[in-house]
Amino acid sequence: MENNKESFDDLDIKILSALELDGRKAFSAIANDLNVSNTMVHQRVANLQKKGILEQATIKMNERKLGYEWSAFTGLSLKEDSNSKAIIAELEAIPEITECYYITGNYTLFIRIVAKSNEHMRHLLYDKIDNIKGIMRTESFIDFGCAFKRNIPL
């Protein structure tokens, strides 16, 4: 994998910083703030996307305000790790699973689940996730809230 640190400069960092603060900020406003042309910002963003440095612009929703009061991180032990692709496909079909990671240690996969209530969480864990063929065991940790989450330093 190429060292992306060498493939972008201070202007790219300033553009990324502006987009990190407000992903919907107009490129023309960023150009104005940075004293460069609008075309330059468009070209730089396109280049950052092409290199895979800037993956996507998205919005962050407040899960709790949308009624998802419960969240848990759940480790999944699989009967056979070679089965993980099929299991991941089934997990991905459950909309309340918002993240899925390959990990080392006692589990093969670690997922994050959101639910509207205790009963909803129980249903997701026992009726949906535990019934996926190939999952041997789960262990869940209730999430009481995120202390912080951030991107890497630029």
Over residues 60-108, the pLDDT tens digits come to 889 999 999 999 999 999 998 888 999 999 999 999 999 999 999 999 9
Please report the DSSP string for the chain in residue order.
---GGGG--HHHHHHHHHHHH-TT--HHHHHHHHTS-HHHHHHHHHHHHHTTSS--------TTTTT--EEEEEEEEES-GGGHHHHHHHHHT-TTEEEEEE--SS-SEEEEEEESSHHHHHIIIIIIITTSTTEEEEEEEE----S---PPP-
* pLDDT on residue 4: 45
* pLDDT on residue 5: 54
* pLDDT on residue 16: 92
Closest CA to 10 of 37, 42, 44: 44
Mean pLDDT of the chain, nearest integer: 91
pLDDT over threshold 80, residue 3: no
Q: Are 116 and 69 in contact (CB under 8 A)?
A: yes
Contacts of residue 17, Cβ cutoff 8 Å, sequence gap at least 6: 154
pLDDT over threshold 90, residue 2: no
The pLDDT-based confidence of 6 (bands split at 50, 70, 90) is low
Q: Domain locations in the chain?
A: 9-50, 70-142
Measured distance CA(90)–CA(88) in Å, rounded? 5
Q: In what helix (H) or strand (E) does residue 120 lie, and over which residues does it extend?
A: helix 118-122
Contacts of residue 77, Cβ cutoff 8 Å, sequence gap at least 6: 106, 107, 108, 135, 136, 137, 138
> Is the domain 70-142 a CATH 2.60.120.590 member?
no
* pLDDT on residue 21: 87
pLDDT over threshold 90, residue 147: yes
> 9-50 in CATH: which number?
1.10.10.10
pLDDT over threshold 80, residue 1: no
The pLDDT-based confidence of 152 (bands split at 50, 70, 90) is confident
